[in-house]
Structures are given as structure tokens and as C-alpha cells.
């Protein structure tokens, strides 16, 4: 058992400390990083990609659905490894 104290970090994030204990490394995305992007415009002009590459993105819902299916299949295929 890990003998550690779950004290909130400098930014007051209990979750970050919990991730460090459970996974042995800091989280990839901290609350501070997420907060720095929250409310900002993250849109990009993809007209050149559409025109030159034929890029035609699907809906976010479909992308998430496909990612979940892929990850579930990948997890099932590598279960014994």
C-alpha cells in the first residue's frame, strides 16, 4: 500500500495527486492546462485541406464513437499481453 498523503497540490487539485499515486506519473492534462484553453476559440480554417487533400471531417459524435470502438477492439485484442 502506498504510504502517501492526499493533500491538494499548489493549485488545489486533489485529482492530480491521486493520478500520481495510482499511475506513478503526473496527469497528461492538468486542470490548469485545461483552464488555459477553456473559453478560447480553437477553430481553424480547413479550406486548404478540403481543397487540396479532399479532407472532409465527420461529426465529433462519429469521431468519438469510432475512437471508442477502436479502443475497445484494441483492448480486447491485447488483453492477454
What residue numbers bound the domain in which 64 lies? 46-81
**Whether residue 72 sits in one domain with residue 53:** yes
Number of domains, the chain: 2
**Whether residue 77 sits in one domain with residue 50:** yes
**Residue 31 pLDDT:** 77
Distance separating alpha carbons of residues 62 and 81, to the nearest angstrom: 29
12-36, pLDDT tens digit by residue? 455 666 666 777 777 777 778 888 8
**Residue 15 pLDDT:** 62
**Whether residue 16 sits in one domain with residue 37:** yes
Q: What predicted TM-score, i.e. pTM, was given to this entire model?
A: 0.36
**Whether residue 55 sits in one domain with residue 17:** no
DSSP per-residue string spanning 6-34: ----TT--HHHHHHHHHHSS--SS-HHHH
Cell numbers 481543397: residue: 51
**Whether residue 61 sits in one domain with residue 38:** no
Contact 22, 4 (CB under 8 A): no
Amino acid at each position: 500500500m502506498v504510504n502517501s498523503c492526499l493533500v491538494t497540490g499548489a493549485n488545489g487539485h486533489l485529482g492530480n495527486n491521486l493520478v500520481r499515486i495510482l499511475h506513478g506519473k503526473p496527469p497528461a492534462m492538468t486542470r490548469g492546462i485545461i483552464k488555459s484553453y477553456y473559453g478560447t476559440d480553437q477553430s481553424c480554417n480547413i479550406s486548404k485541406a478540403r481543397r487540396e487533400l479532399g479532407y472532409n471531417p465527420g461529426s465529433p459524435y462519429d469521431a468519438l464513437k469510432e475512437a471508442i470502438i477502436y479502443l475497445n477492439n484494441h483492448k480486447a485484442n491485447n488483453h492477454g499481453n
